[in-house]
Amino acid sequence: MISKKEIIELIYLSIDDVNEENGINIVKNLETKLFGSESDLDSILLVNLIVSVEQNIEDATEKYIPIADERAFSLEESPFKNIETLAGHIETLLNE
């Protein structure tokens, strides 16, 4: 099992990939908004980030977990609010 700190590092790795591929500079800190009007990500970039995170998690754990499933969208607080909420969501999924 990987720790929340390791999950955050994998998210940061994915952000590096999205930044490099798109010539942008998404800031890597726990409060960085991933979704909504305050986010620097449009819908396509958010999807790219999610796919990259899923791949990095699978590479690290040898377990595929769908991050953006129907449950994620039904939660009261969006797991895509910021990096911290995304890491918490992934940690919950991995512990199931």
| DSSP3 helix / strand / coil % (the chain, rounded to 5) | 55, 0, 40
Query: Looking at residue 70, what is its pLDDT?
Result: 83
Those residues with Cβ within 8 angstroms of residue 56's Cβ, 6 or more apart along the chain or in another chain: 10, 11, 13, 14
pLDDT digits (tens, 9 = 90+) for 3-62: 999 999 999 999 999 999 999 999 999 999 998 889 989 999 999 999 999 999 999 999
Those residues with Cβ within 8 angstroms of residue 22's Cβ, 6 or more apart along the chain or in another chain: 45, 48
Domains defined along the chain, listed by start: 4-94 (1.10.1200.10)
Confidence bin at 69 (pLDDT 50/70/90): confident
* pLDDT reading at 77 higher than 90: no
Amino acid at position 64, single letter = Y
d(CA 81, CA 95): 21
Q: Which DSSP letter does residue 46 get?
A: H
